Amino acid sequence: MLTYQRGFFCGDLSIRYPYHECTITVPMLLVCMLLLPMLFLGVVEIMRLCHNFRLRQYLRNTSLSLGCFSFGFIATYLSTELAKNVVRRLRPHFYMACRPQLNDGSTCDDPKNRNLFVEQYYCSNRNLSARQLRELYVSFPSAHSSLSFYAMLFLAFYLHAIWRGGRGVNRVLRHLLQFLFLSLAWFISLSRVADYWHHWSDVMAGAVMGIIYATLTAIYVGRFLSYYTSSSASSAISPHHHHHQQQQQQHHINKQSCLHQTSNKLKASLKHHQHVGSSTVSFQPSQQQQHTLSHEPTPPPQQQQQQQLKQQLYSDQISAASTLPGLSTTSTAAALDAVASLATTVTEEELVTLTSAREHLIASNESIWKSGTS
């Protein structure tokens, strides 16, 4: 047998536990933590598109989910194996499986070696294969614990991201599945301590590693807590929430379109009023537009000053129209009523145009009045 440099104390009781077969073997771990999660992701993606199934969308969502899961799984496995081969901690059943013997032919059972730290030894158990011999030195951290916690916590994050907005039974079922996932990971981790294949600190370190990798993968690789919150929340699992969001978006679009049309009509009426002069303006906002404009939010201070100036111009124009016989007071009031009702939508340049139009109207009507009196 080969001589290993990883030493131990002959009186260390933590490596003298009996040898037991694994409750969860490596093939069972791969089936539970690799194949079943992939199958679960594929089935859930079908459920999300069951009302409007499209093969291209299904393949895209499935490849994205499986790619994120596989990336984190491989990263967790490689990190665990790296730590195992660097630390090379002895398993709890190391002494019973290896039966180490010192180079001088003595063993740790000799009284003279009771408190001795042994570095040069070999395993006297000839029934161990090379793989079994290697397994005695890879106790820290637990691969079962790291991979199981990664896979199950990843699925819990995945469910939390795509299954949102549910109430009652749906919400309870979602949390129940998340609890079952984490319970399975906890059971697999505890079985490693119960079978004397890992120390409790090995299992704890593996669990922390799996939790960290699952969290980082869900946030930064899969973006489950940002991307899926906005886009995947509209899945088939919560159709009522998706329908409510569509109604709100459509209402906002209709409101913006109504305001845009009203503003265009106002600008057209202002240009017509500027060129025609004293002609009658027949623009009258509709009832829906008046209702929309009456619920507009309070403008900022700069727009409030502009609105006050426009109202002052409106009052001056009405006074001038009442004293000038050549100008129709009704037409002027109708035009300026449209301006006053939409004061918040007129820019500063249009205010200058309105002032110029006012001066032009006053000058035109004065000339008409003078020609009439002469």
Single-letter amino acid code for the residue at 133: L
Question: How many other β-carbons are positioned within 10 Å of the β-carbon of residue 192?
Answer: 25
Q: Is the dihedral of CA 27, 30, 33, 34 positive or negative?
A: negative
Single-letter amino acid code for the residue at 361: L
Catalytic residue among 144, 251, 252, 273: 144
DSSP string, 171-199: HHHHHHHHHHHHHHHHHHHHHHHHTTSS-
- Tell me whether residue 51 is one of the annotated catalytic residues: no
Catalytic residue among 93, 198, 199, 273: 198
- Tell me whether residue 93 is one of the annotated catalytic residues: no
Instruction: Report which of 3, 5, 9, 17 is spatially closest to residue 113, judged by C-alpha positions.
Output: 9
Please give the torsion angle defined by the CA atoms of residues 161, 165, 170 and 173, in that order, rounded to the nearest 10 degrees: 30
CA separation for the pair 79, 102 (Å, rounded): 33
DSSP string, 256-291: HHHHHHHHHHHHHHHHHHHHHSSSPP-----HHHHH
Question: How many other β-carbons are positioned within 10 Å of the β-carbon of residue 269?
Answer: 19
Question: How many other β-carbons are positioned within 10 Å of the β-carbon of residue 113?
Answer: 17
320 CB contacts (<8 Å, ≥6 apart)?
Answer: 327, 361, 362, 365
Chain centroid offset of residue 41 CA? 18
124 token code pair: 């006297």
Chain centroid offset of residue 259 CA? 33
The residues carrying an active-site annotation are 144, 198
